[in-house]
Structure 1
Amino acid sequence: MNKKFLVNSTLAGIMTFSLFTPTAFAHDMLDDVGIEKGAHEADLNEIPKIEGNKSLSNWKEVAATPLKEYDGVENNTADVYSHKGYAYLGTHTQNGGEGGVRIFDMKDPKNPEEIAKFADDIPGTWQEKVIVKSVNTPEFKGELAAVSVQQLNRNNPDSKGGFLLYDVSDPHNPEKLGFWEMDKRVPGTHELYLTVQNGKPFVLSANPYADYYTHGESKDFALVDVSDPKQPETIYEFDPRILPEVSDDFNGYHWDSPDGKTRPVFNHSAMSDTNGDKALLSFWDLGTIILDISDPYNVKYEGRTDYAPDVQGSAHSAALAKGGNVLIETREVYNPTKEGYEESYGYTRIFDIKDPANPKELSTFKTDLVDNVEDGITFANTVHDPKVHGNTLYLSHYAGGLIAADITDPANPVQTGQYQPEGAYFWGVDVDRNYILASDMGNGLKVLQKNNSK
């Protein structure tokens, strides 16, 4: 199968912070790009109507539920997260953002019911990422949600970036607890992760370009103690200058790498292992950085992935497999014909990180989309976010839909299915119990359920 996705080049230009041009393309051209792409309403109408396939191996689409409109405003989806029978959908930038997070009751996966909207109270922002965990500290007991907040335009005096903390113990009635606010010069928190380590909750916050815009006063990664959600406390920030290959004159964005190229460096995403002992920072062309956070007050750098001179970095997101010993690194490469690099859209790399100081590349996983370079610049063909469930890797792939791969042998991943409904544009994916959740930017929440007859 060799599908082409002729997507209008304006797909890339939907995020327009101040200093960013609205026709920009990707992260690695600062001041010519917004922090995320996706599509606004006009672009979604221009995505070709692909003859779809509504199955993913032996999984079948059982629901397609659009977001509710509020005051006549239609928002589009961003990432999706599942927790205790509820789906949490972040929202993107369509119609001015401010779509908040939507909660869906998944009691009947064939009929998801949107029951609440929250985290929409900061003007001029969008809420891409949400993570929910059970927390029990002296200051708070219940279900805690962390929500990323990003400014659409930093010149808006009413907007501010960072992350919100909410009590969602009663999903029908979320209650605001606190806000971790960033320097106004920084767009905000993009991707984040909420982890609980020995009963204590921490937020891992990726704040792209913080180092650049604050001239080093703030960093692109922060580890925040949220034991008291009303008073989040920053306890650590990562500075790339600690690495011997990054010189002291690093300006917070452009890195003169040892391979002779000037590469973009910023923290796009952050996540941790199950126990909250290890942090993975997706630091674009600096690779996936591995930190030991087992003692959050004494964080130690362990290692990072690297790239051949002809490979664009673009470390976008990460996932773990095999008990945390295998790293999945997705690379969002939007321009497959960038001078000096291989001709390819973004694909997935798989590493053995049992020795985090020396990550060993086991394999690369490429779909049939990544070599379709004749169409020019488009986000439709690059991989986006990864999730692992058992020995199956799930990848959101924008217009390519969802991809499933068997990683029983991480050195030999094998594609097992592709879910590509007509007109889809997938941002995120999550797996919970007996269903897969997917955020289709223009079409809302998609639900896939296992077909036990196969």
Structure 2
Amino acid sequence: MPHKNMRKVCMAMVAALMLLSAPVAQACGLGIESGKWEAVETAPEQFGGVPLIEGDKNVNNLKEVASVYPEEHKGVSVTTADVFAHKGYAYLGTHVGSHSNEGVRVFDLSHPEDPQEVSVFANDLPGTWQEKVIVKSVNTPHFKGDLAAVSVQKYRQDQTKSGGVLLYDVSNPEEPEQLGFWELPEEVRTGTHELYLTQQGNRVLVLAANIYADYYTDAEFHDFAIVDVTNPSEPEMVYNWDPREILTAEDYDGYTYTDEEGAQRYAFAHSVITDQTGQYAYISFWDLGTVIMDISEPESPEVVGHTQFERHVQGAAHSAALAKGGTVLIETREVFNPDPHDEQFERGWGYTRIFDIKDKSNPKLIGDFRTMNSMIQIEAGEREPGTFTVHDPKVRGNTLYLSHYTDGVRMVDITDPSNPVEVGSYVSDPALVWGVFVDRQYILASDMNDGLKVLLNNAGQSSSSRHDVAMTK
């Protein structure tokens, strides 16, 4: 499958997003910047079509063992989004770029050098796209098995009224069965952007980031919602959070506000995760930072604290991950506009910030990680080729894995989180890596233009023995 040109992908997304009549969407990941959309091309070929993998002794056995493009079920090329793995299967979300509701693609990784697409689901809602999918094994009085929660976002208002969260039984990943659909109010013209699935005892919850919901409903409905899916056939919202609880600005309109230092800011729920216990939620609320919320009582959560940004830092809290037993917060900032209109802001791509959250009420910035490309401060009006902002973080042990668009996948040692050190990188040619997921010896990456990438560590083992260790179903 030939590589696509990123400008074509971005411009197709612009056309779709313009249909929303939303606050102007600037980034390929639906990021918001300075009120003006600017597309940038990916970097020119640098590695002669061969993926570049570099690193120290921790990743020197890493190799790409597979690169597979999703099947064209609807006769058009597929733009991929996030990736998740569960019990030896990869779940690949798809992006709005194809304009054809490509749903979630499921790949059997029994033979990781040759992943097989075995099913597709959530592809029967024209005018929508399915970026995010989370799969967990749950056990409730109403359902026992593997449950998938899928984000449903709208891009054609004339084709669909539905946005929200789809719930599927994927106990047999090759035969997914729809169980339920939690739908947002029709006037929310975006849908659920990202989500998380967690369990508290025998209670199962979906946490949904419904981007611009506050803006579209004039504050009658807010961006962050908690939905009880203990009975996935009858999902029920139990909580909806108003960010005005912690915003001191008087000019907040559900989207923009001016902070205390005079910077124009944007506040909307973009993403959310929980800790392993499901007791705390970490909501990426763009310029409002990462909001930490005690959700141990889902009907009446309490905000504990949130991160903040210095005057010169564009906010853009995009996604989060936890490290060190939940005492360290990783916050990625998706900044697609390294040449902001506000001259006091940094003039570089988005990078990763690291916080000590032993005291969740007072997150302390202790470090950051920047690639060489994201570190460069460009001149006003300059546009270097590439899309070098960070996107999503994952943590396994003391290693932080970052999807970094044109900068590929970066692997960072955070043994000392105040002194992160890059130990490896994977950059395909050309790269446009949306998501990364780590499953034991396997690293999965989703490239927007080139599908699913399977990277393998401990490359000296045989294929069968690797599978026996890492991919037992």
TM-score by length of 2: 0.88
Shift of 1:260: 1.5
Shift of 1:336: 1.6
Amino acid of the structure 2 residue aligned with 1:369: N
Aligned to 2:458: 451
Report the 3-state secondary structure (helix = DSSP H, G, I; strand = E; otherwise coil) of the residue aligned with 1:275. coil
Shift of 1:411: 0.5
The question of whether the paired residues in 2 share the 8 Å contact of 1:20 and 1:33 is answered with: no
Aligned runs of 1:11-22 on 2, under 5 Å? 11=10, 14-15=13-14, 16-17=16-17, 18-20=19-21
Aligned to 1:273: 275
Moved more, 47-56 or 159-168: 47-56
2:390 aligned with 1:383: yes
The question of whether the paired residues in 2 share the 8 Å contact of 1:280 and 1:289 is answered with: yes
Aligned to 1:393: 400
Identity of aligned residues (%): 52
Report the 3-state secondary structure (helix = DSSP H, G, I; strand = E; otherwise coil) of the residue aligned with 1:370. helix
Amino acid of the structure 1 residue aligned with 2:154: Q
2:118 aligned with 1:118: no
Report the 3-state secondary structure (helix = DSSP H, G, I; strand = E; otherwise coil) of the residue aligned with 1:14. helix
2:294 aligned with 1:292: yes
Shift of 1:23: 9.7
After superposition, the C-alpha distances for 1:319-366 in whole angstroms (9 at most, x for unaligned) are 000111100000011112212211211000000111111001110111
- Matches of 1:379 and 1:180, distance apart in 2: 37
2:66 aligned with 1:70: no
- Matches of 1:312 and 1:379, distance apart in 2: 19
- Matches of 1:88 and 1:324, distance apart in 2: 26
Aligned to 1:303: 305
2:46 aligned with 1:50: yes
The question of whether the paired residues in 2 share the 8 Å contact of 1:347 and 1:370 is answered with: yes
The question of whether the paired residues in 1 share the 8 Å contact of 2:127 and 2:159 is answered with: no
Query: Which structure 1 segments of 5+ residues have no match?
Result: 1-5
- Matches of 2:6 and 2:86, distance apart in 1: 34
Q: Give the direction of change, closer, same or farther, for the CA distance of 1:298–1:127 in structure 2 (3 Å limit).
A: same
Shift of 1:250: 2.2
- Matches of 1:120 and 1:218, distance apart in 2: 27
Aligned runs of 1:155-234 on 2, under 5 Å? 156-186=158-188, 187-234=190-237
Moved more, 6-15 or 134-143: 6-15
Aligned runs of 1:412-431 on 2, under 5 Å? 412-431=419-438
The question of whether the paired residues in 1 share the 8 Å contact of 2:25 and 2:32 is answered with: no
The question of whether the paired residues in 1 share the 8 Å contact of 2:43 and 2:385 is answered with: no
- Matches of 2:12 and 2:74, distance apart in 1: 26
Q: Give the direction of change, closer, same or farther, for the CA distance of 1:102–1:157 in structure 2 (3 Å limit).
A: closer
Amino acid of the structure 2 residue aligned with 1:62: V
Moved more, 104-113 or 217-226: 104-113
- Matches of 2:413 and 2:183, distance apart in 1: 41
Report the 3-state secondary structure (helix = DSSP H, G, I; strand = E; otherwise coil) of the residue aligned with 2:237. strand
1:61 corresponds to which of 64, 78, 86:
64
Shift of 1:296: 1.2
1:357 corresponds to which of 347, 361, 365:
361
Shift of 1:74: 2.1
Aligned runs of 1:322-361 on 2, under 5 Å? 322-338=324-340, 339-361=343-365
The question of whether the paired residues in 1 share the 8 Å contact of 2:52 and 2:427 is answered with: yes
Aligned runs of 1:308-319 on 2, under 5 Å? 308-319=310-321
Q: Give the direction of change, closer, same or farther, for the CA distance of 1:211–1:21 in structure 2 (3 Å limit).
A: closer
Amino acid of the structure 1 residue aligned with 2:125: I
After superposition, the C-alpha distances for 1:354-388 in whole angstroms (9 at most, x for unaligned) are 11110011101111011343552877111011000
Report the 3-state secondary structure (helix = DSSP H, G, I; strand = E; otherwise coil) of the residue aligned with 1:430. strand
The question of whether the paired residues in 2 share the 8 Å contact of 1:334 and 1:379 is answered with: no
After superposition, the C-alpha distances for 1:226-267 in whole angstroms (9 at most, x for unaligned) are 0011111101111111115244x5210111211212211111
After superposition, the C-alpha distances for 1:171-225 in whole angstroms (9 at most, x for unaligned) are 1100001111112222100110001111311001001100001101111100100
Report the 3-state secondary structure (helix = DSSP H, G, I; strand = E; otherwise coil) of the residue aligned with 2:375. coil
Amino acid of the structure 1 residue aligned with 2:365: E
Amino acid of the structure 2 residue aligned with 1:404: M
Amino acid of the structure 2 residue aligned with 1:48: P
Aligned to 2:469: none
Q: Give the direction of change, closer, same or farther, for the CA distance of 1:270–1:316 in structure 2 (3 Å limit).
A: same
Report the 3-state secondary structure (helix = DSSP H, G, I; strand = E; otherwise coil) of the residue aligned with 2:278. coil
Shift of 1:8: 4.7
Amino acid of the structure 2 residue aligned with 1:297: E
- Matches of 2:360 and 2:212, distance apart in 1: 26
What is the CA RMSD across the aligned residues, in angstroms?
A: 2.4
